Structure 1
Amino acid sequence: MGDFVKGKDFENYPDRIKTGILLHREIDRYTDSHDVVKQSKDRLREKYRHYSGVIIDVFYDHFLANSFQAYTKEPLHEFVMRHYQNLETNSHTLPARAQNMLEYMVRGNWLENYKELRGIQKTLTGMSRRTKFNSLMDQAIIELTTYHQQFADEFAAFFPDIQAHATQYRKDLVNSH
């Protein structure tokens, strides 16, 4: 939802949703400024330019899906189904573009399909079709397979940092209200 609510429009939502939108924005900001993520993006920058960050987000989703059990006891499938159900139950609160995307997300089971390279390829191809310019994102699977271990190591170094940062930021947000 954070990607679909622009500017100060988040103020039109209940406090819990506001907190989620602000947390989403902070996670994006922190991720974009993290040295390890910059290292991952630099590997792609020459070919993909400003799309390198979007591609790394998708690659990191792949590594999170594959290492999910290292971060929680809840199986990925149960986590995904619970969140799809929550989104569908509360879809009336989503902006129209997010509501439209939700149908495709659930039907295509995007979150679980990030585990597989073919799921990543499908995601990158779909994103490439929706860009204004020739992003070449549909070709990025080549770099994922070529530098798989380097990206995996970078994700493993980054993810504990983002977890700690997000936890602290959420506490600070809740305590400030």
Structure 2
Amino acid sequence: MNYLAHAFLSFRQPEILVGNMTSDFIKGKSKFSFPEKIQQGIALHRAIDQFTDDHKVNARAKTIFKPAVGLYAGAFLDVAYDHFLANDRLVFADDNLPAFSQWVYGTLENRLEDCPARFRDIFPYMKQYDWLTNYSSREGIEKSMAGLVRRAKYLQDHGPVFELFNREYETLEACYQRFFPELLLFVNNYFKKHLLPPQPGI
């Protein structure tokens, strides 16, 4: 799950952030039990995921990870992209990723009663270990990949996929550089069509 991308693409709108960050824990019609703005965040999350899955650059990028993780390649690509986003100085200039991360944690903590139970279970670990900021380091990405392996069926060892991440680092970064500006444009247009105008900056 690319938490950092979904957090950033919520454009600092708290209810949108809640829905966008927790959508993977909300199944089917249960989304209608949440407040309207959170439902909009859930819908945004799913639109982002669909755009990401359909993008031709990502179809090629996934082939890098497939030898190690098969059908889970998309999930590991999400983690890799959060690393490149965390280090993107056009997005997080002047080393403001830590401040943005703390804003996200504080916003979510103030609205935990609106979050699904499974997300509430993991949130203390997200905050304590500062997942969002730690995506910026390769050590943090290795830990994220290890966590994915622990939660995935049929995967035993994160070593091979992390080795591929390091070996193909420049290729993956180039894929991110081609993809993310198009994703950002897509989300800006989505906001104009479906939501309130996005707030400038982060």
Same fold (TM over 0.5): yes
- When normalised by structure 1's length, the TM-score is 0.92
2:105 touches 2:127 (CA, 8 Å); kept in 1? yes
Q: CA RMSD in A?
A: 1.5
1:2 touches 1:21 (CA, 8 Å); kept in 2? yes
**Distance in 2 between residues matched to 1:28 and 1:138, nearest whole Å:** 26
Output the amino acid matched with 2:142: Q
- 1:116 matched to 2:137: yes
1:77 touches 1:112 (CA, 8 Å); kept in 2? yes
1:51 touches 1:135 (CA, 8 Å); kept in 2? no
Describe the superposition over 1:16-49 as per-residue Cα deviations: whole angstroms up to 9, x where unpaired: 1111110001101110110111111012223311
Output the amino acid matched with 2:81: Y
1:19 touches 1:170 (CA, 8 Å); kept in 2? no
- 1:2 matched to 2:13: no
1:59 touches 1:144 (CA, 8 Å); kept in 2? yes
**Distance in 2 between residues matched to 1:26 and 1:141, nearest whole Å:** 28
- 1:50 matched to 2:71: yes
Shift of the alpha carbon at 1:122?
0.6
**Distance in 2 between residues matched to 1:91 and 1:135, nearest whole Å:** 33
Q: Structure 1 pair 124/138, CA: closer, same or farther in 2 (3 Å)?
A: farther
What stretches of structure 1 of length at least 5 have no aligned partner?
none
Aligned residues: 174
Kindly report which structure 2 residues correspond to 1:2-151, keeping only aligned pairs within 5 A, or say none. 2-67=23-88, 69-71=89-91, 73=93, 75-134=96-155, 136-151=157-172
Describe the superposition over 1:134-164 as per-residue Cα deviations: whole angstroms up to 9, x where unpaired: 2644531111110111101110110001011
2:86 touches 2:136 (CA, 8 Å); kept in 1? yes
**Distance in 2 between residues matched to 1:136 and 1:31, nearest whole Å:** 26
Shift of the alpha carbon at 1:78?
1.1
Q: Structure 1 pair 73/119, CA: closer, same or farther in 2 (3 Å)?
A: closer
**Distance in 1 between residues matched to 2:182 and 2:161, nearest whole Å:** 25
Output the amino acid matched with 1:148: Y
Output the amino acid matched with 1:70: L
Shift of the alpha carbon at 1:171?
2.3
- When normalised by structure 2's length, the TM-score is 0.81
